[in-house]
């Protein structure tokens, strides 16, 4: 299954070792699912994950975030942006997540913000789901 993780899912994956977000991230690293990332999405992950409040909650430092992102970069499929579909969503900051999913031919966009993505994703036949729902369906 080809999936894109929204930034909020990456934050949850770093904060909780036992949640569905972490399990999906590890499934991507192990090759059980195909994680899709774009350069813009990786930069977004880095920017958000290195915020002091997220580092503290994850009991991590910037170096450990770099290790996770390096591993993700090595294991995920890099999405080339052939077309930018903006504007599709109310929140401009979410556009890069949707664009990675569309250009990467994702089967699912995984997020806690279903409402923010549903209308835009529906236009492209893209499934939007929470981490726990997707994890249970695997």
Helix (H) or strand (E) holding 110: strand 108-110
> What's residue 82's pLDDT?
73
Contacts 24+ apart (CB under 8 A), 92-98: 94/6, 94/120, 96/38, 96/40, 96/41, 96/44, 97/4, 97/6, 97/7, 97/41, 97/44, 98/126
Non-local CB neighbours of 68 within 8 Å, separated by 6+ positions:
14, 49
> What's residue 85's pLDDT?
65
Global confidence as pTM: 0.93
Tens of pLDDT, residue by residue over 116-125, are: 888 888 888 8
> What's residue 116's pLDDT?
86
Tens of pLDDT, residue by residue over 52-72, are: 999 999 999 999 999 999 999
> What's residue 12's pLDDT?
98
Q: Which residues in the chain come in under a pLDDT of 50? A: none
Q: What are the chain's domains? A: 2-137 (3.40.50.1010)
> What's residue 120's pLDDT?
80
> What's residue 83's pLDDT?
63
């Amino acid at each position: 299954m080809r999936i894109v993780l929204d930034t909020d899912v990456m934050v949850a994956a770093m904060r909780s070792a036992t949640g569905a977000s972490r399990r999906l991230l590890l499934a991507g690293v192990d090759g059980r699912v195909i994680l899709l990332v774009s350069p813009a999405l990786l930069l977004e992950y880095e920017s958000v994950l290195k915020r002091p409040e997220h580092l503290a909650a994850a009991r991590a430092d910037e170096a450990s975030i770099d290790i996770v992102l390096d591993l993700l970069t090595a294991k995920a499929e890099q999405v080339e942006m052939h077309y930018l579909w903006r504007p599709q969503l109310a929140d401009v900051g979410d556009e890069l997540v949707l664009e990675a999913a569309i250009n990467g031919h994702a089967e699912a966009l995984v997020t806690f913000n279903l409402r923010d993505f549903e209308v835009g994703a529906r236009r492209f036949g893209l499934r939007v789901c929470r981490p726990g729902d997707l994890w249970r369906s695997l």
